[in-house]
Every structure is written in C-alpha cells, then in structure tokens.
C-alpha cells in the first residue's frame, strides 16, 4: 500500500463517509449538497486510485465522473426545484461548497500532475481538474441559488 492509496482511503473515510451520513439524514437541502460533495470526493478518489495502482487507464473513471457527477446534481436541482426553493441551503453551506469545489480538485490534481510528469496523461489530469472545478461550482450554485436555473412556473 503506497501513499496514494492511503490518501484515497483517508478521503473515503473522512470525506465520503460523512457525506453518506449527510445524504441519509436531515432535510432535503442537506442531502442534495452531501450528494454533490460525495460525487466530487469519489472522483478525486478515482484519480488517487489510478495513480496508486499505477494504471493510467483508470483515470477514465475520474473523467466520466467529473462529467456525470455535476450532471446528476443538476438533475436533482432541476427536478427537486420546488422543494429546494422552499428550503434552500444556507449561505454558510453555499460558501463552504464553493470553497470546497475550488480548493479540493487542485489539492489532489496538482500532486498527481507532479508525479505523472509531462505527457498525454498530464493533459488529461488537468482537463479532469478543470471539469471538476467548473462542474461543481455550477452545480453548487444551481442547488443553492435557484436563480441561475430557469425554473418552471408550474413546478410543484
């Protein structure tokens, strides 16, 4: 077991497990935010696993999740819009989400980039990092400030 796998295990235990707790308990706003955080963290875990197992092809998992994770959150933001608008996440949670989605991907991707060295997989890693940051910023904003999404008037 090397450091990358250990880091993945730490993220799983200290990040995804609390997110699972948040998604199973509490009000709906907390559950949606927790699901968004879990998708972000699992994507980072996939990148760490790819490096830990020394299998560059595993990075595709991170790429798929970086695209589909925010898309899944947008599905919730869209189809649960009425309930979320009635009880939106607090400003503190929204700010924490923004900070997390901006800070966490570079924190993991940059060490991976250094370890990978120049080449095609470096470009892929940077692309995944950019997708993750942008996607989670957008989905976090969609969940909290419903203003950024066009809402149907007859929803609910």
Partner 1 sequence: MADLLVVLALTLVVAAATAAVLTRDPARQALVLALLGLALAVLFTALQSPDVALSQLAVGSALTPLMLLLTVRKVRGRGHRGGRKRGRA
For partner 1, the binding residues (CB under 8 A) are: 1, 5, 8-9, 12-13, 16-17, 19-20, 23-24, 28, 31-32, 34-35, 38-39, 42, 45-46, 49, 53, 55, 57-58, 60-61, 64-65, 68-69, 71-72, 75-76, 79-80, 83
Element (H or E) spanning 80, and its range?
A: none
Q: Which is nearer to partner 1, 40 or 109 (CB)?
A: 40
Q: Which is nearer to partner 1, 20 or 85 (CB)?
A: 20
Q: How far is the CB of 80 from partner 1 (least distance, A)?
A: 6
Q: Which is nearer to partner 1, 118 or 139 (CB)?
A: 139
Classify residue 128 by burial, with Cβ atoms within 10 Å: 0-12, 13-18, 19+: buried
Q: Which is nearer to partner 1, 118 or 129 (CB)?
A: 129
Q: How far is the CB of 113 from partner 1 (least distance, A)?
A: 21
CB distance 32 to 80 below 8 Å = yes
Q: How far is the CB of 8 from partner 1 (least distance, A)?
A: 7
- 80 alpha-carbon distance from chain centroid: 19
Q: Which is nearer to partner 1, 55 or 95 (CB)?
A: 55
- 16 alpha-carbon distance from chain centroid: 11
Q: How far is the CB of 24 from partner 1 (least distance, A)?
A: 4
CB distance 45 to 8 below 8 Å = yes
Distance CA 134, CA 96 (A): 15
Distance CA 44, CA 58 (A): 12
């Amino acid at each position: 077991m090397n450091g990358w796998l250990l880091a993945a295990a730490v993220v799983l235990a200290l990040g995804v497990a609390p997110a699972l707790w948040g998604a199973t308990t509490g009000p709906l706003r907390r559950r949606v935010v927790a699901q968004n955080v879990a998708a972000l963290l699992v994507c980072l875990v996939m990148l760490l696993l790819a490096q830990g197992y020394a299998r560059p092809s595993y990075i595709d998992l991170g790429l798929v999740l970086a695209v589909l994770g925010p898309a899944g959150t947008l599905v919730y933001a869209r189809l649960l819009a009425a309930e979320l608008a009635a009880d939106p996440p607090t400003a503190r949670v929204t700010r924490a989400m923004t900070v997390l989605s901006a800070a966490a991907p570079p924190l993991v991707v940059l060490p991976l980039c250094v370890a990978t060295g120049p080449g095609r997989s470096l470009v892929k890693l940077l692309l995944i990092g950019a997708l993750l940051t942008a996607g989670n910023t957008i989905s976090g904003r969609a969940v909290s400030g419903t203003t950024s999404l066009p809402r149907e008037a007859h929803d609910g």
